[in-house]
Amino acid sequence: MGPSTLPVATSYSRNRMRPRGLRMKERIEKQLEFALEIDKVKNIFRQTHLSGYVRNENDAEHSWHMAVMAYLLREYANEKVDIAKVMLMCLVHDIVEIDAGDTYAYDEEGLKTQKSREHAAKERIFSILPEEQKTEFTALFDEFEAYETAESKFAHAMDNLQPLLLNNSNGGRDWREHEVTAKQVYGRQEKTKLGSAELYKVVDHIIQENIQIGTIKE
């Protein structure tokens, strides 16, 4: 299974978003072009299903859900965090998937090329922005990926916890469909522990329950 290959919308023209008769400054024009570009995140679908198993979740829903959870659960972070920064990380971390596609967490082949695909996407998409905002967004994305700061560790904890909650609410159907093993789930959830030891206790309980009923393979 490779990254999501749903058709990506063609690039938006600046002329299509400029109101007739309005001459915009180049800075505003670039910012609005970026704002429209990231609308494409809504068309990148993940393997995880929404609660109720009605359909696959898209990247925009995933990122929004993560950001709200980060604020809600901030008291459980292992270290004191700048919660606004964590929330922004949650909101921008999957923008690169507009070009790179979503890579399933347990897709070993897709994971081999994920970094290179996302690097190319980062360069193209963030280059739409004015230079200092390109630098700001790139630094935020790189900090999330480097997984060294308290903020990035807590953001990663949300990135792991959110789909686990959805999957558990759906009776583990996505785990069962992809024949996911306990080793794979625990391997991914190691980052949750480093962001929040308290939330990891909940994660461990959920995993153990699903092992017992057979939705996660031992």
Do the beta carbons of residue 159 and residue 87 sit within 8 Å?
no
Going along the chain from its start, the domains and CATH numbers come out as: 24-213 (1.10.3210.10)
pLDDT at 108: 81
Nearest to 179 by CA among 111, 106, 112, 114: 106
pLDDT in tens, the chain (218 residues): 455 444 444 444 555 555 555 667 999 999 999 999 999 999 999 999 999 999 999 999 999 999 999 999 999 999 999 999 999 999 999 999 999 988 887 788 887 889 999 999 999 999 999 999 999 999 999 999 999 999 999 999 999 999 999 999 999 999 999 999 999 999 999 989 999 999 999 999 999 999 999 999 99
Query: Other C-beta atoms within 10 Å of 62: how many?
Result: 26
Confidence at residue 14, expressed as pLDDT on a 0 to 100 scale: 55
pLDDT at 5: 43
What's the start-to-end Cα distance of the chain, in Å? 22
Residue 36, CA atoms < 13 Å, CB-side half-sphere: 16
Residue 19: the pLDDT is: 58
Predicted confidence at residue 22, as pLDDT, reads: 62
**Reported pTM:** 0.88
Distance between CA atoms of residues 121 and 115, nearest Å: 10
Residue in this structure with the two tokens 């996407």, named with its chain if needed: 121
Can you tell me the distance from the alpha carbon of 144 to that of 142, in angstroms, rounded to the nearest whole number?
Answer: 5
Q: What is the pLDDT of residue 20?
A: 59
In the numeric block, the tokens 């939705």 are attached to: 215
Q: What is the predicted pLDDT for the residue at 162? A: 98
Query: With 0-12 CB in 10 A as exposed, 13-18 as middle and 19+ as buried, what is 57?
Result: buried
